[in-house]
């Protein structure tokens, strides 16, 4: 007989200002235990999607509004996960989102060491806060070859959607992560990124996908 349990969430901001979510299950006898790996993955996604619906209703948040062709990179050959994180940090710095690429790299790497942001299906969403960022920014990266990202489903990653959020904006951080997670899980997202030949056309496809999500919500 399968044991019944309830899922509980707790959100908070850690000492470094990072948005954190703890998900566990409570068994009828009152004990708490970690969720099995894939159950945790599915539940975390559902939590992000719930946040997204709230954010979409209250704030009209659209990922498309945070994107720019200067932060879209297609078919970049990188050897491993560390190189991806370094590329992301340097790209944000080169485009003026932050000043110190090394500082941002350390922040992204620290977040990855807590738990991989490989959410499954070949997608990674490395993210961090930055005291240098004046506004949130998102980078889209299509890798030339899939690589091990320590993803929750162990599938190699070839699509990166990276996020930088200003310091002390935990609610905004969670809302954008929620909206980003929902976009990444929408039908057509992966195919759009993998088939794209031009950054501007890819962003237009993202706009269309988000409009479709809003229409069916």
Q: pLDDT tens digits for 3-45?
A: 444 434 444 445 554 444 444 444 555 554 444 444 444 444 4
3-state secondary structure of 72: strand
Domain match, 36 and 77 both: no
Q: Can you give the CATH number for the domain in which 184 is found?
A: 3.40.930.10
Q: Does residue 195 fall inside a structural domain?
A: yes
Q: Does residue 117 fall inside a structural domain?
A: yes
Phi, psi at residue 196, to the nearest 5°?
-65, 135
3-state secondary structure of 160: strand
Q: Does residue 156 fall inside a structural domain?
A: yes
Domain match, 94 and 117 both: yes
Q: Does residue 1 fall inside a structural domain?
A: no
Give 76-79's long-range contacts (Cβ < 8 A, gap of 24+).
76/141, 76/142, 76/143, 76/144, 77/143, 77/144, 77/145, 78/143, 78/144, 78/147, 79/147
Residues belonging to the active site: 127
Domain match, 150 and 87 both: yes
Q: Does residue 166 fall inside a structural domain?
A: yes
Per-10-residue mean pLDDT for the chain, 217 residues long?
42 48 49 46 48 46 89 97 98 96 96 90 93 94 97 93 90 85 87 94 93 66
Q: pTM for this structure?
A: 0.74
Domain match, 91 and 25 both: no
Structural domain boundaries, residue 143: 63-216
Count: domains in the chain:
2
Least Cα distance to 16 among 117, 144, 129 occurs for 129
């Amino acid at each position: 007989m399968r044991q019944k349990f309830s899922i509980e969430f707790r959100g908070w901001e850690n000492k470094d200002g990072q948005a954190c979510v703890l998900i566990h299950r409570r068994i009828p006898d009152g004990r708490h235990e970690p969720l099995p790996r894939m159950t945790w993955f599915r539940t975390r996604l559902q939590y992000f999607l719930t946040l997204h619906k709230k954010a979409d209703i209250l704030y009209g948040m659209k990922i498309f509004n945070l994107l720019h062709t200067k932060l879209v990179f297609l078919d970049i050959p990188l050897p491993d996960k560390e190189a991806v994180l370094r590329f992301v940090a340097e790209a944000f710095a080169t485009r003026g989102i932050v000043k110190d690429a090394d500082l941002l790299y350390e922040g992204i790497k620290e977040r990855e060491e807590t738990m991989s942001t490989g959410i499954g299906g070949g997608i990674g969403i490395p993210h961090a806060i930055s005291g240098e960022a004046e506004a949130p920014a998102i980078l889209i990266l299509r890798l030339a070859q899939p690589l091990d990202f320590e993803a929750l489903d162990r599938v190699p990653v070839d699509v990166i959607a990276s996020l930088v959020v200003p310091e002390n904006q935990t609610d905004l951080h969670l809302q954008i992560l929620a909206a980003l997670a929902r976009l990444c899980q929408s039908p057509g997202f992966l195919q759009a990124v993998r088939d794209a030949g031009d950054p501007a056309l890819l962003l237009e496809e993202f706009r269309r996908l988000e409009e479709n999500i809003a229409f069916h919500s």
